Amino acid sequence: MDKIRYLIIGNSVAAVNCVEAIRGYDTTNDITIVSDEEPFNYSRPLLSYYLGGRITQERLPFVNRDFYEKHRVNLILGKRAERLDVSKKEVLLTDSTLLSCDRCLISVGGVPIVPPIEGFHDNIEGIFTFLKLKETKNLIDYIKRETIKDVVVLGGGLIGLKVVEGLVERGIKPTVIELMDRILANTFDKEASSIIEERLSQGGCKVIKEDTIQGIETKGGKISSIFLRSGKELTTSLLIIAVGVRPNLELVKGTPIRVDRGILVDRFMRTNIEDVYAAGDCAQGIDFLSKTNAVIAIWPVAARQGRTAGLNMSGITTEYPGLFAMNSVQIIDIPTISFGITNPPEEEGYEVLKRQDKTKGAYKKIVLKDSRVVGIILLNCIERAGVYGMLIREEIDVQDFKDQLLGDDFGLLVLPKDFRKHLVEGRGIVV
């Protein structure tokens, strides 16, 4: 059995960025990617648009099919990595293929969270999660086959609301069940959430808050109704569970690889095992703001972590700088962006600036700590998002221009002259 120089388990954005980083310095040694999915790749953030019929499957890939050939990657699709032996650096696949490697990246992503529900089991028709392309295709087929009109979506976070958006575009008006006192509770505050909820209501969607599904009933092997903790009963022929994802730790169970919420990595994306790295939604790396290890399951983090891992795997010592939570998404027809700490604890010295324009449906919130921006929420006013993000990354003291941060004309020209000069002559601004 020949040893593979670079073995990558998983084939999403972290894997692709890892490949590009490796090939920037090592053009000869072999790279193998193993994926349990059949498609050569696709963008998960686009699945809601595919669900809604806005784009076709051909629009889902984020790199062309020839990417793997150009970068001389041996791509193994439709086979899951079933067991990892870190002492031998061997991976057993579901078809009994055994792969041996020098260096390995684990980038297996996350798995849907399914809360305990009375009466739930895997063989009930009409219950779906929303994470992978295959699940989305099965969901679309079920909607068409059963002529679905009533849908319940469990979860009012980003995943749940992107599902709602896709359903609305199909002419379906779902009911959203959210455990918290507002939708998008992890990223938005009450004011921002209320704007989105009002827009959902105008589109015919119903939101039930501070409640959750306690049990389900079936008829003929299909879901027929749900019972809420509050005692309410809703009839439905389709339930989509979209409460979030957790790191996929199945492959590292029983190995000496250290885990917490995710696979623990250092600033070089290395695990505690030599030549074994992790990146993306399964990894727990440094958070730029808290300076602690955290799982931040978003596309930009996975991309940067994958690139950092690839550089270090190819011998180019590079530290992952740590990123922070960031989401840029259009919900229904409202463009939104949120960065960093958006719901700070009141007792820890944070300062909050807010501005709302109800005529435009616009909302802006800035969170400060020690005169530095640590979080923002923008709804229907996202034009200066890049500047706010830069203020967070560069840890700029904004005390001298704090009163201008909420203004419509806030931008680079407000920043100190010396810093603007640095942006022009230095590395430039990242938007």
Percent of the chain surpassing pLDDT 70:
96
359 and 263 in a single domain? The answer is no
Residue 214: what are its φ and ψ, rounded to 5°?
-95, -40
Tens place of pLDDT per residue across the chain (431 aa): 689 999 999 999 999 999 999 999 999 999 999 999 999 999 999 999 999 999 999 999 999 999 999 999 999 999 999 999 999 999 999 999 999 999 999 999 999 999 999 999 889 999 999 999 999 999 999 999 999 988 999 999 999 999 999 999 999 989 999 999 999 999 999 999 999 999 999 888 999 999 999 999 999 999 999 999 999 999 999 999 999 999 999 999 999 999 999 999 999 999 999 999 999 999 999 999 989 999 999 999 999 999 999 999 999 999 999 999 998 888 888 999 999 999 998 878 899 999 999 888 899 999 999 999 999 999 999 988 988 998 999 899 999 889 999 988 787 777 766 665 555 444 344 43
List pLDDT tens digits, range 80-114: 999 999 999 999 999 999 999 999 999 999 999 99
Contact 337/431 with Cβ under 8 angstroms? no
171 and 139 in a single domain? The answer is yes
233 and 252 in a single domain? The answer is no
239 and 251 in a single domain? The answer is no
Contact 237/271 with Cβ under 8 angstroms? no
Is 140 part of any domain?
yes
103 and 21 in a single domain? The answer is yes
Q: Which two tokens stand for residue 341?
A: 């700490």
387 and 402 in a single domain? The answer is yes
Residue type, 383: E
Is 320 part of any domain?
no
DSSP-assigned letters across all residues of 267-303: TTSB-SSTTEEE-GGGEEEEBTTT-SEE---SHHHHH
Local structure of 63: helix, strand or coil: coil
- Name the pTM for this structure: 0.92
In the chain, how long is the greatest CA-to-CA distance? 71
| Distance from C-alpha of 15 to C-alpha of 23, rounded to nearest angstrom | 12
251 and 104 in a single domain? The answer is yes
| Distance from C-alpha of 397 to C-alpha of 373, rounded to nearest angstrom | 8
List pLDDT tens digits, range 38-48: 999 999 999 99
Is 321 part of any domain?
no
Is 323 part of any domain?
no
Q: How far is CA 212 from CA 77, 207, 228, 395, 404, in A?
A: 37, 12, 6, 40, 42
The CATH number of the domain holding residue 404 is 3.30.390.30
Is 122 part of any domain?
no
Residue 160: what are its φ and ψ, rounded to 5°?
-60, -40
| Domain of residue 218, residue span | 127-243
Q: Where are the alpha helices (DSSP H) in 95-251?
A: 133-146, 158-169, 190-202
As for how many domains the chain has, the answer is: 3
First to last CA, the chain: 46
236 and 138 in a single domain? The answer is yes
Q: Which residue, of 264, 283, 313, is where some domain finishes?
A: 313
Is 271 part of any domain?
yes
Q: How far is CA 2 from CA 65, 74, 99, 100, 179, in A?
A: 26, 14, 8, 7, 52
Is 192 part of any domain?
yes
| CA-CA-CA-CA dihedral for 247, 252, 255, 258, to nearest 10 | -30
Q: Which residue, of 243, 271, 305, is where some domain finishes?
A: 243
93 and 137 in a single domain? The answer is no
Non-local (6+) Cβ contacts of 141 within 8 A are none
Is 326 part of any domain?
no
Q: How far is CA 162 from CA 98, 114, 147, 172, 430, in A?
A: 39, 18, 21, 13, 26
Element (H, E) at 419: helix 417-425
352 and 397 in a single domain? The answer is yes
Q: How far is CA 33 from CA 9, 37, 77, 264, 427, in A?
A: 6, 12, 8, 22, 33
164 and 216 in a single domain? The answer is yes
Residue 422: how many other CB atoms lie within 10 Å = 14
- What sign does the dihedral 164-296-299-108 (CA atoms) show? negative
Q: Which residue, of 183, 209, 243, is where some domain finishes?
A: 243
Element (H, E) at 18: helix 13-23
86 and 191 in a single domain? The answer is no
The CATH number of the domain holding residue 104 is 3.50.50.60
